[in-house]
Structure 1
């Protein structure tokens, strides 16, 4: 037994090493911030000490910070984007025309100096020496007094002033639901540097990439406010909301809040005098906090139920996608919809129960895809949003809808949205940078819907059990790192023994569509046709005149392997026959028959993303 265990361990270890990119490294940050808030004028003064560890193999002569609040100024790139995209986000624009003939105007364009957002740098030192810096839109470029050599850690000290913008996108003041401060993207954040270089994306409404690090954030704020934030509150006895009888430590009318978090890559907080706090603990030991406005009995009841379900969510997702590594998670009302951050989310809270649970499940699922795996959302938005939506759908069906078992395809709604997109003429390659889609419609359905389809259809190709194993092995290898989509592909290939280059390339980098058909059925053979330019393996369920059934599995030559038999209920007691490979260069495939077929179905599990399913059944329905 010892020899077998040792051999298995070596095989697993070599597999993990093989899946890990050679010479992988990642930068690290350690933030300590002190924030003094003027809630009357929606401004704050900030001090930051940042330790930045250069774990790369090269010296850095410059660094960059994101100043996201600067996007909320007339004339910004975000302002122009809203003015020129065909379907601007309605939260960020006003329609000056009619529903039939809309004429959109950016809400940013009309902001006054008292309403805009800004972050102004007052001083910036590195290792005690002055730096040279300039602000360019939402980016701060810093020329260093001396290079940060490979393996060195630099000490930055910064002071800045900021004004919180009107609530337009994610962060802001006085949301539609009445939350006074939604503090997302609120601090100068070190830009991400990796093997691909610096990621210097202007903020025009999409999402992010950042190095992992530790946060120690102290907030001085009007004593009447309650704060919900990333990380763990260090002084609950000194502030409102987290203890029944806090011994408030107030100085000049302000209470001091201190939150700490380790190994996250963004920090969010929100504050309002009317916030209430509730909490519960999952079976796995994660403390879930809800911080919300108790505006009605229905809202309070919904939040109470949502909290109970959230604890179940963290246990479910930890079991299926890898253990949640932090001790807390906070669901805080704020912002303009739902947006994930390190160990916390901002969500709008005046929702019905189904909607509230759905948005909490989605944003909490981002704790895996994108916060446990620091996915570059500006590059692989589908890997972030699509896989999150896949996790959300499975958890929602099991925990909210109380289904005993999932259907073979658990994201059919995502498939339907993808089909609509694919046939709309508006689809663009899913590899497009998130900011550059021609329409919000295309972005949303590529990232959320087609991303879900990629994950579920991957299970069709390699087998459902192999897909589940892939998720867990991917977690073991890549947790708290910055994987790419190719890294996920590599793990799936190692788990399944199937080559997946063709699938990821065509589904991500092109707008090619899948379309198979049953061309003819007679007493001697079944003829299948690939009517598209996207080849796939085929599951074909045949029912014979004598009542027996047979599942023909046709691998694709490019797979260089086969998926194992799957144990779906629909396949119970059905003979499975593996046929010769189908070449993508051959548009037809013939299956000889030994007895009369009365019914034939291509992929009865509905995981093959075939844009025209009417010809997938014989006789046609």
Structure 2
């Protein structure tokens, strides 16, 4: 009798809202929205659980580099020796390398694909590499054969590099002119006390061979960033003795390049939780604080298990530092290098404080920071990240400086630790990083600065734009007006929704931390992320991944009606958007008490409308969908009953 009563009630409710069913009628459903949208099956290299498979491999690239900075000619001259380990299952007749300084020529693909009016990725056109004395060795064989095309170089071997652990060495000399405008990635900035050199993509680097694409050899155009193998770097920079050289990794010869006074301050900073000046503002031109007053000095740095290195060099640097506290008693050194034009408590004098807070937060929350140094360099660059070193705008201050510093240091987790392919999947580093920046910003000084991710509904103008593009659009072809959303904010909002609306904090955090730990120092693909999050969280999320990450559809959940029925209430809902979502609603009663109800996303598998029977002995005063306003619902005028109802 109880079963019969429920059945009769369901027919009565259906009839009340005009929903009919007959035995002959075929009702369309929305199952296609919930089906898999890409091949995410496992294989021997990458499992269906989103983990590296038993035969997963990646190659290794270790570098020894010696380079000289000429501040009169503005050139870099150097030599690299690359030790390349082929862990792939096939022998290699050649390897590909990136020559990204070749972007700065008149006929480079990047130059020729830059609009006439220019954009953020403008670059000089009087540079490019001069390569000489190349030697490629496998065992006792040697070759000097290579082919350069735009920003790529193919290096050939006389005999193949053996599979599964075979090694080769590639050595060459290189030289180029340092651009002033380095596409907002690197370059030169003249200030009153000298020139600031921000050096990145400054040496030939090995491209990635992986099990998905083979050789990843997309040209360097501008918006697409990097995809590199991991390895150990041992590099020496010879610069004028008046310069301070800060770089990725750990300084190996402080006694040779620091005066006794600066070395004492260095040692003090390594034990201090507050910022310590190494070179004070009034000491920038005091050459007695240099280890030599004339000639050159060679600064020696090392970093292990990294995918790149960068450095900054100038005689104009104010330099300060403080200790970074990691787990198990481990320490690192936060440093900032900036000119007097950037000095001030509202500006770069707080850079090391910001850097320390950012690194410590991400280390505790997600995965421990692996490098000995974390350097923030003021330059003519909006913000750009490398392992253990950032370039941030010398004009940033306050919330802007916190935001860019925190964002660029966050990139040490994505993509420096979790090594995704930035040139193809910008959302896997920029978006994931923007997501973790949200929580770091909320934490810093109890929310001294605001996070934009608290205001997702302020972005609905873009979601309604006919010019919007999908997250999966390659960064180099994305309209630059859309790049901030497709690469940064929309994927970050996606993770925010997964954590705070769909899965809940505990399930999401377990899965996301597991993803980081599983793919640390490896090369995940989008399918690996999707598979891992689903398997650890225990939830089929294909409906969300497909709609949010691989399309331009929107969210529009509507509350279309509320009616009393036999002392209870029937709440009518509709999915008027392209992306189904669970329904979270708050029901408020006449006595001002309230109740939160969550309906699962599966209600939309059956169709685009749903009637929810709410059983209560109280009188309902109002109902509101998404009370915390997390969803970027493109039409929030239909989110409440009675209408209009606006939450302050």
Fold shared per TM-score above 0.5: yes
Q: Deviations over 1:274-322 (max 9, x none)?
A: 1122111123222111111122652x66333231232222221112112
Aligned-partner Cα distance in 1 for 2:615–2:134:
80
**Matches of residues 291-440 of structure 1 in structure 2 within 5 Å?**
291-295=337-341, 297-298=343-344, 302-400=347-445, 402=447, 411-413=453-455, 416-417=458-459, 419-437=460-478, 439-440=479-480
Confirm or deny: 8 A CA contact 2:99 2:203 kept in the other structure: yes
TM-aligned CA deviation for residue 398 of structure 1: 1.7
User: Corresponding residue for 2:302?
Assistant: 260
**Aligned-partner SS, 2:134:** strand
**Matches of residues 195-214 of structure 1 in structure 2 within 5 Å?**
195-196=211-212, 197-206=214-223, 207-214=225-232
TM-aligned CA deviation for residue 262 of structure 1: 0.4
**Aligned-partner SS, 1:211:** coil
Distance verdict in 2 for CA 1:480–1:512, change over 3 Å:
same
TM-score (norm 2): 0.81
Distance verdict in 2 for CA 1:118–1:382, change over 3 Å:
same
User: Corresponding residue for 1:171?
Assistant: 186
User: Corresponding residue for 1:183?
Assistant: 199
Q: Is residue 2:618 matched to residue 1:618?
A: no
Q: Which among 583, 602, 606 is matched to residue 604 of structure 2? A: 583
Confirm or deny: 8 A CA contact 1:231 1:260 kept in the other structure: yes
User: Corresponding residue for 2:319?
Assistant: 277
TM-aligned CA deviation for residue 17 of structure 1: 10
**Aligned-partner SS, 2:245:** strand
Confirm or deny: 8 A CA contact 1:523 1:593 kept in the other structure: no
Tell me which moved more, 355-364 or 421-430.
421-430
Aligned-partner Cα distance in 1 for 2:378–2:296:
22
Q: How much is the aligned-residue C-alpha RMSD, in angstroms? A: 2.6
Tell me which moved more, 278-287 or 216-225.
278-287
User: Corresponding residue for 2:40?
Assistant: none
User: Corresponding residue for 1:243?
Assistant: 263
Which structure 1 residue ranges, 5 or more long, are not aligned? 1-15, 93-106, 558-581
Aligned-partner Cα distance in 2 for 1:252–1:548:
77
Q: Deviations over 1:326-384 (max 9, x none)?
A: 22211112241110101111111222222111111000011111111011111221121
User: Corresponding residue for 1:572?
Assistant: none
TM-score (norm 1): 0.84
User: Corresponding residue for 2:7?
Assistant: none
User: Corresponding residue for 2:115?
Assistant: 83
TM-aligned CA deviation for residue 471 of structure 1: 2.4
Aligned-partner Cα distance in 1 for 2:191–2:481:
24
Confirm or deny: 8 A CA contact 2:456 2:632 kept in the other structure: no
Distance verdict in 2 for CA 1:498–1:160, change over 3 Å:
same
Confirm or deny: 8 A CA contact 1:237 1:243 kept in the other structure: yes
- Number of equivalenced pairs: 555
**Aligned-partner SS, 1:282:** strand
Which structure 2 residue ranges, 5 or more long, are not aligned? 1-46, 266-287
Aligned-partner Cα distance in 2 for 1:316–1:66:
34
Confirm or deny: 8 A CA contact 2:346 2:397 kept in the other structure: no
Q: Deviations over 1:435-477 (max 9, x none)?
A: 121x101122111110111110111111122122222222221
Q: Is residue 2:130 matched to residue 1:120?
A: yes
Confirm or deny: 8 A CA contact 2:547 2:578 kept in the other structure: no
TM-aligned CA deviation for residue 176 of structure 1: 7.7
Aligned-partner Cα distance in 1 for 2:121–2:316:
24
User: Corresponding residue for 1:13?
Assistant: none
**Aligned-partner SS, 1:83:** coil
Q: Which among 140, 144, 151 is matched to residue 131 of structure 1? A: 144
TM-aligned CA deviation for residue 486 of structure 1: 2.5
Q: Which among 311, 314, 336 is matched to residue 290 of structure 1? A: 336
TM-aligned CA deviation for residue 159 of structure 1: 1.4
Tell me which moved more, 204-213 or 249-258.
249-258
Aligned-partner Cα distance in 2 for 1:601–1:329:
46
User: Corresponding residue for 2:11?
Assistant: none
**Matches of residues 501-580 of structure 1 in structure 2 within 5 Å?**
501-524=542-565, 525-557=570-602
User: Corresponding residue for 1:573?
Assistant: none
Q: Which among 72, 81, 87 is matched to residue 55 of structure 1? A: 87
**Aligned-partner SS, 1:442:** helix
Q: Deviations over 1:139-161 (max 9, x none)?
A: 11222212112120111111122
User: Corresponding residue for 1:609?
Assistant: 632
TM-aligned CA deviation for residue 390 of structure 1: 1.4
